[in-house]
Chains A and B, each alone.
Chain A
Amino acid sequence: MSRGTNLFIAFSISAVVWVITLFLSTGYVNEVAKSMPTYALILYFSYALFKVGGDLARLKDYPEEAESLQKEVQEAKRFYQQQGLKL
Chain B
Amino acid sequence: MSKYSVILPTYNERENLPIITYLIFEMAKKNNLDFEIVIIEDNSPDGTLQVAQELKKVYGDKLIIHFREKKLGLGSAYMDGIKLCHGNFVVIMDADLSHHPKYLKDFIEKQKETNCDIVTGSRYINKGGVMNWGFDRKLTSRGANFLASTMLGVKCSDLTGSFRLYKREVLEKVIKDVVSRGYAFQMEIIIRARKYGFTVEEVPIVFVERIFGESKLGASEFQIYLKGLWKLLWTF
Q: Spell out A's residues near B (CB within 8 Å).
A: 2-5, 7, 48, 51-52, 55-56, 58-63, 65-66, 69-70, 72-73, 75-77, 79-80, 83, 85-87
Contacts and interface: CB of A to CB of B under 8 A. Distances in A.
Interface of B: 14, 18-19, 22-23, 51, 54-55, 57-58, 97, 100, 123-124, 128-133, 138-139, 142-143, 145-146, 150-153, 206, 208, 211, 233-236
Given A69-B211, A76-B23, 16 more contacts: A3-B234, A5-B234, A48-B150, A55-B142, A56-B139, A58-B124, A59-B123, A59-B129, A61-B131, A65-B131, A66-B131, A69-B97, A69-B208, A76-B19, A80-B18, A85-B18
The secondary-structure label for the interface of chain A is helix
A76 B15 CA distance: 11
Contacts, number: 92
B143 A52 contact: yes
B148 to A, nearest CB: 11
Contacts of A73: 19, 97, 211
A26 B52 CA distance: 75
Most buried by B among A2, A3, A85: A3
